[in-house]
Structure formats: C-alpha cells, structure tokens
Structure 1
C-alpha cells in the first residue's frame, strides 16, 4: 500500500523562517513619507526664519524639535536619523566603549598596570600607591604649533640614561638589603620612566604610518616602471621580428638573382619568420 508523504506545512514554515526577516522600518522609506518629511522641514524652516534668527540651525537643513518630531506620524519618524554623539560622549560599538575622536588606549594601559601591581580588594601586590606621572611637557594643542616643537629624541635619551642609573641603584640596594624599602621606590621610578618612554614612542605612530605609506607607494612605482621596461623590451623584439618578416621577400629575390648562391627556399624563410612571430606573441601573452 502506497504511503502518502507527511504534510510539509511545518517544514516549510521552519525553512522560510530560518533567516529572520529584516526590520520593517525600511518599508516606511516611501515617496509619500519623504514628501511629508520635506513639508515638516519646510514648516520648521519657516518658523525658524520668522521667530529666531540667532539659532544655530541651518536654514537649508532645519532641525526639528522634540515636539515637532512627536507630532509626525510614526512611519515618518523612521526617516529622521539620530543626532551624532558629541566628541567626548562615549558609545558602544561591538561591545567596545569608544568615542568619536577615538579612545586613549594609553590611559587604559596605565590603569591595567596599576591593577596588576596592586589589588585594592585583597590589599596585596608588588607595588602599592604607584601612579603614573608625565615627566615631559605636553605639546601645545593649538593647530599652529609644530609637531617638532618638542624634542622627543632628547627626552628619550634622558629617560634611557635615567632608567639605566635607576636600575644600577636598584641592583645595589638588592645586593645590600633585599628587604629595604628603597627598592620599591626605585621600582616605581623605573616603571614611571619606562612608561614615559612608551608614551613618547607612541607619538611617532603618525610619522611611522606616513613613512610606511611612502614606502608602499615607492614599491608600486618601481613595480610599474619594471613592467613598463618589460613592455618596451618586448615591443622592441616584436618590432625586430616584423622588420625581419618585411625583409624576407627581398632576401629571397636577391638570392634568386644570384647565380653562384644556393637557391633558398622562400616558403621556408616565410614560415620561419612566422614561427618567430608566434613565439614572440607567446612571450607577450605569457604563455
């Protein structure tokens, strides 16, 4: 007895719902809703020009107030983009807190080092009450200030010599009295100096990025020049082959007129020149 297949209603629903439908707000981007939004903007612009001339709203892009947005239909509100966050306002992207101008990773590194050196909850660790201190002047924030106004190389050499001296002093303290309280002070000095060097080196990152980009562009230019030279050499070889094919009939005629010379096979010469031409074309095409 033939068996009927089970109804496929449930399976079809599961297959059709495997990929969820996109959010329905995209359906509201219609010409009618766009026209309503333009009318609301025109009304807001008219009120702005008639009431407040000192407002920061641009006349060609009037911003709607909260009351005006709430007065719009729900489907039109989807067409109004949210305001961008402020420069100092934090927001989350892929579960990472960031800012518009970027996050200062150095502060997070310093905080992480502080928590690794001393745990305030258990009151245990290697160094207690250590805080980062910037030992070099901060560059001027004004746009007219030059990046080279601060001699970073000189400060790096100073910090390096100070690190070596502090390390030698730390070795002397440990050799004399390993339980001395001065060793913690020297460890704090070494850590502060190293982090200051780290901060100064990080300020060379834009310069490193520019130099890396320049190097990549120079490599591309050299590669393009090599390709052009290869094309020129191949073109010269093809030109010589064509010249040889053009002179082949003349050689055959001169050989036929010469009585003492051996009669050459003109057809063989022509075929040989054609073979050379095909070989040159294969080299051009990379076969």
Structure 2
C-alpha cells in the first residue's frame, strides 16, 4: 500500500507528442490581466522584466492563485535542468551524441560483442578561446577531407580484420579491429551530422523556390485570363448586342420587344461560345 501511494504521489511528466494544455490556461482572461495590472499600479510596480515579472516573492505569494499564473517566472539558468516531454534538458542543451555513444558502449558491454569500447574523437573541434573583442574566432574544419580519411581507414581495418579471422578466428586482435572500425564509423556519422544545418537551409530554399515558381505561374495564368476577357469584351463591343439588335431590327421590324430581347441574348451567347472556343 505504501509503495502504491508513493507511486501515485510521484510527478508524472508529459510524454505525449501533443499533450493537453495545462489547466491554468483558463486563468489567462482579459479580466484577470486587468486585475493584475491594477494590482501592479496600486503598488507602483513597473514591468521592467526583472525577476518574476517585476514582482518580489512576497507580493507574488500575496496574489490570488488565478493571478499568479499570469506572472512569468524567471528564465532558467544555462546549467539548470528541466524536463520537456519527459526528457531532461538544460538551457544550453544536452550533448545527445556523447549520451548515445555511452549508451552504445553499455549495450556492447552487456551483449559481450565488443568489450571496453569508448568513443574517441578523431577530428578537430572548434576552439573555445575568443579574441580581445569577445568575438568568437572564425574556424572551420575540412569535413570532406576527414570523411575520406575515415572511409579509407574503415576499408583498411576491414581488410585487416578479414586477414585476422582467416588466420585465427579466436584471436583477440579482431576485437581491437572491431573497436577501431566502430570508432571510425561513429566519427564519420558525427561529422556527417554537422551538415544537418546546411541541409535544412538548402531544403528550405528549395521549398521557397518551388512556392515562388507556383505563385509566378498563378500570376501568369491570371494575366492570360485577363487578356482573354479583354479580347472577349472588345469583340462583344464590336459584334455584340448593339450590332445583333440592329440586324434583328432590320430583318424583323414587326417582332415584339420580348422576341427582340431573346434574339439579342441568343446572339450574345453565340458570340461568347465562338470566342471562348466552346
């Protein structure tokens, strides 16, 4: 019973992709906002962005519960840990690659496939120093060169592994070659992932170019239709109702006004069908 009660009291983190909004969103009403502004005005508090919306802790606790939610909390520090969809993270982010490498190492150790494998960084990293003005030093790495080196090294280690297995399948040297190959593969994988921002930018550029081409095509279709309508109206002005009515009056002067109107309409539709190609 005590264990069940303890499990019930433990906080449950949001793990759904699209979780429901927190219940206090109902307190964000115009009336509550006016009450909060009135409270600040009465106490002479200005929204200077310091602390919890400019409110000291004592005054924040003196607010009604429905107004406390309207006061934004202080932003977390860079090294402060908080949870997002059940995953722990910090303000500066989490190095997921190192965490994944540790997970792979533990998995290999548990399975007994490769023992004592530790990821080793094999290409240069950006320097952490700054110049006198506090601007980050411009630095880059020739990723293509290192990727080619990794591929050649993987092939070489693979050939050496085949030679070791051909001579003695139980040799411990094969484990060393497997560790080298895995380390080279993970370094190549990390280096390829550094192209992700470039890939995202290029993908966005392609999407925007496609949208621009579609908009240009739509504008061109509108212009063509506008020109076609202008041609139809010009042709109607030349051969339209006035000309058709005059011809009808000359041919049939004894027709009634209703018959003349119907005759003019039929001629007008006939001209439109010929101009529009129907």
TM-score by length of 2: 0.69
Q: CA deviation at 1:81?
A: 3.0
Corresponding position of 1:154 = 145
Match of 2:269 among 271, 283, 286: 271
Q: How many residues align?
A: 231
Match of 1:84 among 69, 75, 80: 75
- Residue 98 of structure 1 deviates from its aligned partner by 1.8
Give 3-state SS (helix, strand or coil) of 1:118's partner.
helix
Aligned residue number for residue 120 of structure 2:
133
Deviations 1:72-128 (A, max 9, x none): 355565554322211222211221112233332212221221111002xxxx51111
Deviation at 1:177, TM superposition (A): 0.7
Question: 1:152 offset after TM fit, Å?
Answer: 0.8
**Structure 1 residue runs without a partner (length 5+):** 1-21, 46-56, 258-265
Alignment of 1:99 with 2:90, yes or no, is yes
Q: Distance in 2 between matches of 1:228 and 1:198?
A: 45
**Structure 1 CA distance for aligned equivalents of residues 59 and 192 of structure 2:** 51
Larger RCO (alpha carbons 8 Å, 6+ apart): 2
The answer on 1:36 being equivalent to 2:34 is: no
Helix, strand or coil at the partner of 2:117: coil
- Answer yes or no: is the 8 Å Cα contact 2:24–2:69 preserved in 1: no
**8 A Cα contact 2:153 2:184, kept in partner:** yes
SS at match of 2:122: coil
Q: Structure 2 matches for 1:116-265, cutoff 5 A?
A: 116-119=107-110, 125-141=112-128, 144-146=136-138, 149-248=140-239
Greater Cα shift, 205-214 or 83-92? 83-92
What is the distance in 2 between the residues matched to 1:135 and 1:182? 21
Q: Aligned partners of 1:154, 1:213: CA distance in 2, in Å?
A: 27
- SS, match of residue 120 in structure 2: coil
The CA RMSD over aligned residues, in Å, is 3.7
TM-score (normalizing by structure 1): 0.67
Give the equivalent residue in structure 1 for 2:16: none
Partner-residue secondary structure (3-state), 1:98:
strand
- Residue 30 of structure 1 deviates from its aligned partner by 6.2
Distance 1:213 1:24 in 2: 34
Q: What are the ranges of 5 or more consecutive residues in structure 2 without an aligned counterpart?
A: 1-22, 251-262
Hey, what's the Cα distance between the residues in 1 that align with 2:58 and 2:268?
A: 90
1:12 corresponds to: none
1:113-172: CA deviation from partner (whole Å, max 9, x where unpaired): 1111002xxxx511111101100110235554446x211111111111111111111111
Q: Judging changes above 3 Å, is the alpha-carbon distance between structure 1 residues 230 and 32 closer, same or farther for their aligned structure 2 residues?
A: closer
Identify if the C-alpha distance between structure 1 residues 113 and 37 changes in structure 2 by more than 3 Å, giving closer, same or farther. Answer: same
Does the residue aligned with 1:88 lie in a helix, a strand or coil? coil
> 1:256-285: CA deviations, max 9, x gaps?
99xxxxxxxx846433124457x68xx9xx
Q: Secondary structure at the match of 1:130?
A: coil
| 1:195 CA displacement | 0.5
